[in-house]
Amino acid sequence: MNSNVSVKKKTNVRKLVIVGVLSGVSIMLSLTPLGYIPIGPLNLTIMHIPVIIGAIIEGPLVGMMIGFMFGMTSLVRAFVAPTVISFVLMNPLISVLPRVIMGIATYYVYTILNKMISKEKVSLAITGVVGSLMNTVGVLGSIYLLYGQKYVEAIGKTGSAGKIIGMIAVTNGLPEAILAGVIVSSVVVILKKTNKF
């Protein structure tokens, strides 16, 4: 009985440590240029990757908590260091909710793929891609539904909100998803090899 309590306590402490460490990484990435990787004309964000990794290695609750911290960082930054598009991120339905959902859903995507695909590195890579796309679709989809044309005007474009936001999703979202797949599969494989997870 005591050993079960001890194991449960160790597990809870480990989950809290992982939430703390990965939330810290996510916050650092969002507050510094380290969160963006320039590839050609694009600046690809990797700020959502700690959420995906946390969900895979520790489950949906941890993914949700790291996603919440990532979202709160976006929300706070929108108020503290506003830009022309910060008004959309001042709405927690855009800055926080999609990141929380991504953190939960990513775990279940990984669980299903891991049962279907024999090579874990492949299931991890696909999970990274899907998790990243969930973030892109969640944030940009919410922007389209709640602000649409106002957002398009704020970024200095003219034309249909659906087309312009869709183009942003394709030009940034797809390369970010591929990058997430590579990073997530590599990092999680290394973590699992240390026998800590």
For residue 155, report the phi and psi dihedrals to the nearest 5 degrees.
-90, 5
Which residues on adjacent β-strands are paired with residue 44? Answer: 37
pLDDT, tens digit (0-9, with 9 covering 90-100), for 96-140: 999 999 999 999 999 999 999 999 999 999 999 999 999 999 999
Per-residue pLDDT, 138 = 96
Give 42's pLDDT tier (boundaries 50, 70, 90).
low
Per-residue pLDDT, 3 = 57
Residue 173 CB neighbours (<10 A): 21
Which residues on adjacent β-strands are paired with residue 36? Answer: 45
Q: How confident is the model over 132-151, as a mean pLDDT? A: 95
Measure the CA–CA gap between 28 and 18, rounded to whole angstroms: 15
Give 25's pLDDT tier (boundaries 50, 70, 90).
confident
Count Cα neighbours of 15 within 13 Å in the Cβ-side half-sphere.
Answer: 16
Q: How confident is the model over 13-29, as a mean pLDDT? A: 83
Q: How confident is the model over 150-178, as a mean pLDDT? A: 92
Whole-number percent of the chain with pLDDT over 70? 90
Mean pLDDT of the chain: 88
